[in-house]
Amino acid sequence: MIHDNSSGLIAPDLLRALVAVAQAGSFSGAARALGLRQSTISQQIKRLEEATGRRLLDRDTHRVAITAEGEAMLDHARRVLDAHERMGRYLSGTRLRGRLRIGASEDFVLSALPDVLADFVRRSPEVTLELTAGLSETLYDQFDAGQLDVLVVKRCRGDRRGTLAWSEPIVWLGRPDYRPPAGEPLPLLLYPSPSVTRARALEVLEKLGQPWRIALTSASLAGLTAAARAGIGVMPHSARLMPPGLAVVQGGLPVLPMVDFVVIGPGGRNDLADALTAAILQWAASGRAQGR
């Protein structure tokens, strides 16, 4: 049955909910990306389906899949939202302007940041960005000193600030054909101290009594990646942000702990920081992030 929608108008928030669910693949991911409750997203999708008289999503206990009619609606929704955003900027006469100082862990910079910045700059072309890449703990210090506005970093122990973007286990990475040397200390490729992944990996190895040696230290992810590709050793790293040319090393290595990636902003009213934070969280919840 086709429901009457005689006004011909569909609220933008309903269309936004559909786009967010399609990108995230779940109601929870869409809620996090939009800063809403999961129940609110579910209600918005239900209202959109009632307004259009079409089933847009297939739901079960494990996943959410977009239907053929939902795919067609998604294309319209994106165009409508883009036009709505342009109209809002025209009517308000304002666009985001100013300087935004970003601090990001190097693994995020070299893998995901291009996707995030492409979306952000397309929407806010007049913002001047200053990027600092480095170790998470060093970036925390710079943020606390007032030198950075937004952080995308691994969460340090005891620091509960920020919004959780995602959590995952640290894994051992190396060249695809790498096998740990039998009967010898495990050769490690590590960031220098302070480093969240270095500290947690060494804690696990010490606790288990696993012999190890430092084969190479580098403050540069490019340096660590080159050493791993050369087969010099293994590096503890995020699997989601895995550099090209590497693979998770098999062979009974110790299981490493989880690590949280968080976004930390200045607090209070800061439109630039809020816009970038939203872009990062949307990337984290989207399907684009899953294959990294």
Q: Can you tell me the mean pLDDT for 208-226?
A: 93
pLDDT for position 89: 52
Query: What is the average pLDDT score of the chain?
Result: 83
- In this chain, the answer to whether the domains covering 12-92 and 98-292 adopt an identical fold is no
Q: Is the pLDDT of residue 285 over 60?
A: yes
What is d(CA 214, CA 237) in angstroms, rounded to the nearest whole number? 15
- Return the HEC string of the chain: CCCCCCCCCCCHHHHHHHHHHHHHCCHHHHHHHHCCCHHHHHHHHHHHHHHHCCCCEEECCCCEEECHHHHHHHHHHHHHHHHHHHHHHHHHCCCCCEEEEEEEEHHHHCCCHHHHHHHHHHHCCCEEEEEEEECHHHHHHHHHCCCCCEEEEECCCCCCCCEEEEEEEEEEEECCCCCCCCCCCEEEEECCCCCHHHHHHHHHHHHHCCCEEEEEECCCHHHHHHHHHCCCCEEEEECCCCCCCCEECCCCCCCCCEEEEEEECCCCCCHHHHHHHHHHHHHHHCHHHCCC
What is d(CA 44, CA 19) in angstroms, rounded to the nearest whole number? 12
Domain ranges of the chain: 12-92, 98-292
**Residue 218 pLDDT grade (very low, low, confident, very high; cuts 50, 70, 90):** very high
Q: What is the pLDDT of residues 61-111, one digit of tens each?
A: 567 888 989 888 888 888 777 666 655 554 454 566 788 899 998 888 877
Strand pairing report for 98-105 and 150-154: parallel
Q: Can you tell me the mean pLDDT for 266-284?
A: 78
Of 93 and 212, the one with more pLDDT: 212
Q: What is the pLDDT of residues 111-141, one digit of tens each?
A: 778 888 887 887 777 888 899 998 888 899 9
Q: What is the pLDDT of residues 163-202, one digit of tens each?
A: 888 888 899 999 999 999 888 999 999 999 888 899 999 9
- Any idea which architecture 12-92 has in CATH? Orthogonal Bundle (1.10)
Number of residues that this document lists for the chain: 292
pLDDT for position 85: 65
Lowest pLDDT segment from 147-151, 204-208, 270-274: 270-274
pLDDT for position 250: 84
CA angle 239, 28, 51 (to 5 degrees): 135
Contacts of 158 (CB under 8 A, 6+ apart): none
Could you tell me if 284 and 261 are in contact, meaning their C-beta atoms sit under 8 angstroms apart?
A: yes
What is d(CA 32, CA 20) in angstroms, rounded to the nearest whole number? 9
pLDDT for position 71: 87
Q: How far is CA 114 from CA 122, 166, 224, 289, in A?
A: 12, 18, 20, 12
**Residue 40 pLDDT grade (very low, low, confident, very high; cuts 50, 70, 90):** very high
pLDDT for position 206: 95
**Residue 241 pLDDT grade (very low, low, confident, very high; cuts 50, 70, 90):** confident
Start-to-end CA span in the chain (Å)? 42
Could you tell me if 245 and 239 are in contact, meaning their C-beta atoms sit under 8 angstroms apart?
A: no
pTM above the 0.75 mark?
no
Strand pairing report for 98-105 and 127-134: parallel
Topology annotation, domain 98-292: D-Maltodextrin-Binding Protein; domain 2 (3.40.190)
Partner residues linked to 101 by β-bridges: 130
